[in-house]
Amino acid sequence: MSCAACTECSSDGRSEREIAETLNAEGHLTDLERPWSRASVHQVLTNEKYIGNNVYNKVSFKLKHKRVVNPREMWIRAEGAYPAMWTRHCFCARAKSSTRSQHFTDAELLRSPARRA
């Protein structure tokens, strides 16, 4: 998926499923030589590695203890660790428009959906 295709899809408001259908109709396959799905499009559009960043320490655990999801402030980000597939602008534009990428605190999740909007 190119930056131009990403920008085009973001600007016209297509859903991830519609983007996957378009890519499949055009004969494009994923890096694993599989047809595109909504999930594979979502992964590419919301994962920072596709703009060249390596983000780690998202979760941690000690032996015989439960896994802990670390807050964003504790994440470690190495920018420019990989060759970027598209620009940061393209990534940010799509990530902001994706409702599946929203992160809520526990308090926000407990409030009614009408109040969140």
pLDDT tens digit sequence for 78-104: 988 888 877 776 666 555 555 555 667
Asked if the structure places residue 61 within a domain, the reply is no
The residue range of the domain holding 45 is 3-51+85-116
User: Whole-angstrom Cα distance, residue 26 to residue 110?
Assistant: 42
Q: How many domains does the chain have?
A: 1
Asked if the structure places residue 75 within a domain, the reply is no
Asked if the structure places residue 15 within a domain, the reply is yes
Which range among 13-17, 54-58, 112-116 shows the weakest confidence by mean pLDDT?
Answer: 112-116
**SS3 of 117, please?**
coil
Asked if the structure places residue 65 within a domain, the reply is no
Amino acid occupying residue 39: A
| Cα dihedral sign, 70-94-89-83 | positive
Residue entry with tokens 């396959």? 29
Asked if the structure places residue 67 within a domain, the reply is no
How far is C-alpha 91 from the geometric centre of its chain's CA atoms? 8
Tell me the whole-structure pTM to 2 decimals. 0.59
Asked if the structure places residue 68 within a domain, the reply is no
Evaluate if residue 116 carries a pLDDT over 60: no
User: Whole-angstrom Cα distance, residue 76 to residue 73?
Assistant: 8
Asked if the structure places residue 91 within a domain, the reply is yes
**SS3 of 68, please?**
strand
Asked if the structure places residue 78 within a domain, the reply is no
